[in-house]
A = this chain, B = another copy of it.
Amino acid sequence: VRVIGIDPGLTTTGYAVVDRDAGRLKPVGFGVLRTSPSRSAAERLAELRAGLLDVMVEHRPGVAAVEQVFFNNNAQTAMTVGQASGIALAAAAEQGMEVFCYTPTEVKQSVVGFGAATKRQVQAMVASLLMLDLPPKSPDAADACALAICHLNRSGLNRAIREALG
């Protein structure tokens, strides 16, 4: 199974492609897509789409795990995150992927073990689970890794349950 985790944002979008092979997690590639601050929101969303499609076409993941938009105190941020997440969801569906959404709390619960984990804890746990020498520098890339791991954990668990139940 090859999963792309996507943490969408208008300014910075984290992505991470992770394989599960014989029960082991293997990082294929991760990083951030940044858009040009001097351009309009519409142009930046088009840039984000182009960048995501490049990653998807290069790595051909079969599943996307996208951060579920949540509404915080800042309506402006929530709006642009919603717009960026729309771009990510449509691009993944167009590429034929199955798409799953997870809330930040679900991801932290699955990857770190508790839903209120700090960014630094997520970065450290991602580095440990993916056997990286150093944690991803960008918290957005680390969050994307955590999204992919969360999906693989859950789908692995579901498969184990199915097999145990015969």
Contacts and interface: CB of A to CB of B under 8 A. Distances in A.
A60 interface: no
Give the most central of A45, A75, A84, A91: most B CB within 10 Å.
A45
A82 B93 contact: no
A95 to B, nearest CB: 9
Interface residues of A, number: 29
Contact of A86 (B40, B43, B75, B86): B86
A42 B90 contact: yes
A113 to B, nearest CB: 28
Given A99-B40, A99-B42, A82 B78 contact: yes
Interface string A6-24: 0000000000000000000
Interface string A56-85: 000000001010010100010011011111
A124 B49 CA distance: 38
